[in-house]
Amino acid sequence: MNLGMPEMIFIFLLALIIFGPKKLPEIGRQIGKALGEFKRASNEFKWQLEAEMRQLELEAEREKDKKNAAPVLQAPAGTVLSTEPSILPPNGNQPAAPESAASSQSADA
């Protein structure tokens, strides 16, 4: 709806005749306050919607990452896990203890 200058003047004169010159500024202030409140409420509603959408997107990404992640293997209870890499030979047998470790154990005893 596009109002031109003649339409605006007509509306102003009609309001001036109906409400009078004393009430017109007061009515204008009330309309301005109402429009400001409406704009503030609509912006707040918009921000809340955007925040909820971002939250839902983050949750969806987390769920997607959980589904795409490789399953984590859990060790049986009582198993001690080492952070050092294992140095087992390809056949799976335990290697013999190094000489320096064996000699230090006999010196302590």
Please give the average pLDDT of every successive group of 10 residues along the chain, which has 109 residues.
85 89 89 95 96 94 82 63 59 55 51
The whole-angstrom separation of Cα 15 and Cα 26 is 12
pLDDT for 21:
86
Percent share of the chain, pLDDT over 70: 62
- Tokens representing 12? 């102003």
Number of Cα atoms under 13 Å in the Cβ half of residue 54: 6
The whole-angstrom separation of Cα 53 and Cα 25 is 42
Q: Look at the pTM and tell me if it is higher than 0.85.
A: no
pLDDT for 50:
96
pLDDT for 29:
93
